[in-house]
Structure 1
Amino acid sequence: MSRPFEQLVRDISASAYLIHKYVVGLNEYGFEHSQQVQDAVTFRLTVIGEAAGDIIDRCRSDLDHASSVAATADYDMPMTLKLFRRMRDKLIHSHWTIDHTILWNTAQEDVPKLNRELMRSLQHQL
C-alpha cells in the first residue's frame, strides 16, 4: 500500500529526531559499547531507508517533483536518498558486516543533514 508523501517525510523527520535523542551525550566509544543504542539507531536508519526508497519510487513516476526537490538542495538529494536506501538494505540483509564507526558517523552527520535538506526542500515547495 502506498503511503502519502507527507507521511514518508514525517517518517524521516521523526526517525532523525529519535536518532539524535538516542545518541545525544554519547561519544563514539559509548555508542560502540551500547548494544541497545546501536539497535535503536539501526532500526531508525532502516525506517529512513525505507521511506527514502518510497520517495525515490514516487519521484520516478513524478519527474517534475523530483526535479524541483533536487533543484532546491545544496547537494544531490536523489543520490542521498539512494544511499540511505542502500544502507537500509545492508542493515537488513548483511547486518553482521556493519561497521559501528559508519553507524556513528551516519547518526552524527548524515541523518541531521538529510533532515535539514529535506525540510528546506519542502519549504521551497510550499
Structure 2
Amino acid sequence: MPIQPVGDAAVEGIVELEKAYADGLKDLDGFTHCILLYHFHESDDAAPLEVEPFLDDEPRGVFATRAPQRPNPIGLSVVEIESITDRNVTVNGIDVVDQTPLLDIKPFVPDFDVPSDADTGWLTASKSTIQSKQADDRFLR
C-alpha cells in the first residue's frame, strides 16, 4: 500500500457503498477525482501526539503529519475516479487498507481544495520522495 495516493497512482481499488447510499453517487461521475474520508480502524488506540512520519526520521507533532495514529483516527485521500457502477466507485491511487470503514465521499474541486499559496512545512526540507514510499507496519496495532 502506498503511504499517500501519489505514491502509486496505478493502485486500483473499489469503494463499495451500502445499498442505502447508492443514490448519493448520482452526478459524481462528472468529476475526475474525489476525496475519501475514512476511519483508521487498524490504528493503535493509543495515539501519541508525536510520531516519526514515513517521510522523516525526526519525531513530529501528529497534526503536522499524515500519520494514521491520531487522537481522532480519520483519514483523507484524494483519488482518481475510474468508473461508477451501481454502488461501487472504482478509483486509482488509493492508499486505504482493505475493508476500511468509509465515512464520506466528496468531489475534489481544485478551485476549492488547492490553495495557490500553500507551504509544506517540514516536508519541504525532507530528503525523501513520496513517490517511492510504501507503507510499513509502524502505525498498525
TM-score, length basis structure 1? 0.29
TM-score, length basis structure 2? 0.27
Asked which structure has the greater CA Rg, the reply is 2
Bigger relative contact order (CA 8 A; separation at least 6)? 2
More strand by share: 2
More helix by share: 1
